[in-house]
Amino acid sequence: MTLSWKTAWAGLVRRGPSIVRRLRLGSGLVLFSYVSFHFLNHSLGNISFEAMEQGAVVHEWVWRSPVGTLALYGAFAIHFSLAFWAIYIRRHLRMGWIEGLRICLGFLIPLLVLQHALFQRFAYTYFDVHQIYRHVLFNIWVSNPQVAGVRQITLFTVAWLHGCIGLYLWLRVKRHFHLVAPFLLIVAFLLPTVALLGVFQGARQVEAKASTDRAWLADLRKTGAGANPQAGATVRTIILWSWGGYAGAFALVLMARGVRTLVERRGGTIRIIYPDGRAVRIPKGLSVLDASRRAGIPHASVCGGRARCSTCRVRVLLGSESLAPRSPAETRVLAPLGADRSVRLACQVRPIADISIWPLVPPEMTVRDQDRLNEAETGSERFVAILFVDIRASTQLVESRLPYDVVFILNRFFEAVGSAIIAAGGTPNQFIGDGMMAIFGSEIPAQEACRQALEAARLIDWHLAEMNRTLANELQQPIGFGIGIHAGDVIIGTMGYREHAQTTAIGEAVHTASRLQDLTKEYACQLVVSEIVGATAGTALDDFASHEIQIRGFSAPLTIRVVGSAAALPPYDRPSPSGETDRSTDPAAPIYAQST
Ligand code: FES
């Protein structure tokens, strides 16, 4: 029983942000419909104020019905409470101008609408005061245009702008929004303009009628809120109390934020490590996007952190095991992209231990740019073989030569190694100082990937022997090399920044292959290859010495084979489409010779 409660609570916590977002959206849509309906009613003033009153009958029939009342007041209560919740839950108040404007306008609405709403609805319900359009137009626009009129225009503008911004922030991340945006913009300008004109026209007609028809004016004064002083006094008292309560609620939210900060400081902090090595320290429980914003690190977030756009996504390079699983909202956004486990939404993931991340989207990315991202940029997980090769005695090479000679020799080395890798079927991926990393298997099965990697090692030996012969007069001693090969699951994806981005592999298999290359110095051999590569390739490596080593971060030891000379590896006879042995990777084939 305890377990089920815990499970239910954990589920609720995980779904909490998505429930809040849906409630905010749903209640906002109800309120926006109410305002739009109200504006349509105002527009009838362009015909006559009597037309406005007839329209109001329909308006009241909808919004004063039990269902309409529940929907309207329920939506207001939810939306208003969630506004305070949003202020509490935000870890910082840094935000884009449009988001800031939306929030400020939203908090102005209750202050502006209170008097109008109380006279229209509260007085009607508790004092049986039924104000229709002629009362409101007379009281506001004829009797008190400088104060009440200005307040109504401000309310009119503030409520409409707040709703339109909310709708825009919701819709702009939708795929085809840019197609309907011009039409929505036209409606957003036309509807309030026509409504306001309707109000002015209606007010002019009421004023004209009041000045020409004294009996009609006397009748008007006998009804409405002005005819019931008790209702007016009660409403004014409620307004004062409400403003006090409003200020108190603000103070409480700000105090709660302060208490939370103190509690979080006691709970400890963690580090978010960025690709440039910067580490941002934040309290546990803050999102990665919060960390970026706090530290002023540009981070794409088109939807403002609402788990709608995916532009904030990051690859978690280290520490992903400490993260909670993806929430339903996160899954809904990332699943269509085919993003693997290590990709998370920075706005949703709240680390409780140090993590290292790699933002996948440039900070200035827009939604339309986002649509153009292809799968390679999103990243995919694959089993590949990774080969690291490094030149030996590079220090002596540099010390005894002019820089130009060093560059020339290194380029010959890369050419020899690179052509061997390509001939075997792999892809030279990164040049790291005087070494190179190559990937085998980004598009072929695991067995062939491992076979190609072993074949590449054999060809590298042959190509470098050729190079040493060709450059014998230039070199004091032949250039030696060390190779490490390992295979495993890695993330293949495009990483980097703008034009500096490139497709590469990241993951433990890459680190391990690099470590095996280092071990060639210890074992004084040309190649160290993990047993898994031979086993996957189906190539017997029993003739080579076997060792068990411990790689940092792994609990189980790794079995390796130490190969003194890569030339001793069995050749890989790749079957050609015709079924005959493909000799294109035979050392006898003049691959390097041709390329030089
Ligand atoms: S900012 Fe849009 S999903 Fe995170």
Q: Over the stretch 124-163, which tens digit does the pLDDT of each residue have?
A: 778 777 888 898 899 888 888 888 899 999 999 999 999 9
**Which residues are within 8 A (CB) of 145 and not within 5 positions of it... i.e. 6 or more apart?**
none
pLDDT of amino acid 34: 95
- Condensed to tens digits (0 to 9), the pLDDT of residues 308-331 reads 778 888 888 888 888 988 888 888
The C-alpha atoms of residue 90 and residue 253 are separated, in whole angstroms, by 11
Q: Which residues pair with 272 in a beta bridge?
A: 280, 355
Helix or strand run (H / E) with residue 67: helix 66-89
Residue, of 349 and 508, whose pLDDT is higher: 349
Please count the other Cβ atoms lying within 10 Å of the Cβ belonging to residue 305.
Answer: 22
Residue with the bigger pLDDT between 236 and 39: it is 39
pLDDT above 80 (res 397): no
The residue that leads in pLDDT, 399 or 183, is 183
Contacts of residue 521, defined as CB under 8 A and 6 or more positions apart, other chains included, come to 392, 482
Q: How far is the CA of 118 from the centre of ligand 1 (A)?
A: 39
Tell me how far apart the alpha carbons of residues 145 and 564 are, in angstroms, rounded to a whole number: 96
Cβ atoms within 10 Å, residue 120: 19
578 pLDDT more than 70: no
Parallel, antiparallel, or unpaired: how do β-strands 269-273 and 355-359 relate? parallel
Inform me whether the pLDDT recorded for 496 exceeds 50: yes
Q: Which of 303, 344, 370 to mutate to test the pocket of ligand 1 (most atoms within 8 A of CB)?
A: 303
For residue 490, which phi and psi values (nearest 5 degrees)? -135, 170
Cβ of 111: how many Cβ atoms within 10 Å?
Answer: 16
Ligand 1 atom closest to Cα of 301? 1
Long-range contacts of 544-549 (CB under 8 A, 24+ apart): 544/568, 549/519
Q: Which ligand 1 atom lies nearest to the CA of residue 313?
A: 4
**How wide is the angle at C-alpha 592 spanned by C-alphas 586 and 595, nearest 5°?**
130
CA of 59 relative to ligand 1 center, distance in Å: 38
193 φ, ψ to 5°? -65, -45
| Ligand 1 center–CA 412 separation, angstroms | 47
Average pLDDT over residues 551-569: 84
| Ligand 1 midpoint to CA 305 (Å) | 4
Q: Which helix (H) or strand (E) holds 488?
A: strand 481-495
- Note the pLDDT of residue 251: 94
Using an 8 Å Cβ cutoff, are 314 and 362 in contact? no
What phi and psi values does residue 439 have, to the nearest 5 degrees?
Answer: -115, 135
Is 464 within 8 Å of 417 (Cβ atoms)? yes
451-482 as b/e, with b when 16 or more CB fall inside 10 Å?
A: bbbbbbbbbbbbbbbbbbeebeeeeeeebebb
- Cα 160 to the center of its chain, rounded Å: 29
Question: What is the distance in A from the centroid of ligand 1 to the CA of 313?
Answer: 7
Residues 173/367, Cβ–Cβ less than 8 Å: yes
Q: Is the pLDDT of residue 13 over 80?
A: no
DSSP one-letter string for 417-452? HHHHHHHHT-EEEEEETTEEEEEE-SSS-HHHHHHH
Examine the pLDDT at 584 and tell me if it is beyond 50: no
Q: Which residues of 210-274 form beta strands (DSSP E)?
A: 269-273
Is a pLDDT exceeding 50 seen at residue 471? yes
**HEC letters along 100-160:** HHHHHHHHHHHHHHHHHHHHHHHHHHHHCCCCCHHHHHHHHHHCCHHHHHHHHHHHHHHHH
The helix or strand, by DSSP H or E, that contains position 398, with its residue range, turns out to be helix 394-399
Mean pLDDT of 212-235: 82
Q: Cα separation of 143 and 156, whole Å?
A: 19
The pair of structure tokens assigned to 116 is 């109008």
Residue 380: pLDDT band (50, 70, 90) is: low
- β-sheet bridge partners, residue 389: 436, 483
Residue 348 CA to ligand 1 center (angstroms) comes to: 8
Question: What is the position in ligand 1's atom list of the atom closest to the CA of 347?
Answer: 4
State which ligand 1 atom lies nearest to the alpha carbon of 309. Answer: 2
Is 152:120 a contact under the CB 8 Å cutoff? no
Please tell me the distance from the alpha carbon of residue 488 to that of residue 462, in angstroms, as a whole number: 27
Reference 592, options 452, 420, 453; nearest CA is 420
Question: In the chain, how long is the greatest CA-to-CA distance?
Answer: 119
pLDDT value of residue 592:
41
For residue 69, report the distance from its CA to the centre of ligand 1, in Å: 35
Q: What is the pLDDT of residues 511-529, one digit of tens each?
A: 899 999 999 999 999 999 9
pLDDT for res 406: 78
CA distances from 569 to 255, 294, 383, 512 (A): 71, 55, 23, 21
Ligand 1 centroid distance, CA of 547 (Å): 48
Q: What is the mean pLDDT of residues 282-290?
A: 87
Whole-model pTM: value is 0.55
In terms of pLDDT, which residue wins out, 535 or 224?
535
CA 346 to ligand 1 center in whole angstroms: 7
Query: How many alpha carbons lie under 13 Å from residue 402 in its C-beta half-sphere?
Result: 4
Whose Cα sits closest to atom 3 in ligand 1? Answer: 307
Pocket of ligand 1 (CB under 6 A): 301-303, 305, 307-312, 333, 345, 347
Ligand 1 closest atom vs CA 303: 2
Which residues lie below 8 Å from residue 496, measured CB to CB, with a gap of 6+? Answer: 502
- Give me the mean pLDDT over the 587-594 stretch: 41
Q: Which atom of ligand 1 is nearest to the CA of 348?
A: 4
The rounded Å distance from CA 303 to ligand 1 centre is: 5
Q: Is 273 helix (H, G, I), strand (E, B) or coil?
A: strand
Report the alpha-carbon distance of residue 199 to residue 136 in Å, rounded: 10
Mean pLDDT for the chain overall: 83
DSSP state of 323: S
Mean pLDDT of 349-376: 70
More confident residue, 104 or 1: 104
Instruction: Provide the edge-to-edge strand list for the sheet that holds 343-345.
Output: 279-283, 269-273, 355-359, 313-318, 343-345
Residue entry with tokens 């037309």: 51
Residue predicted with more confidence, 295 or 72:
72
- Ligand 1 centre to CA of 80 (Å) is 23
Which of 415, 442, 454 lies closest to 561 in space, CA to CA?
Answer: 454
Checking if the pLDDT of 203 tops 80, the result is yes
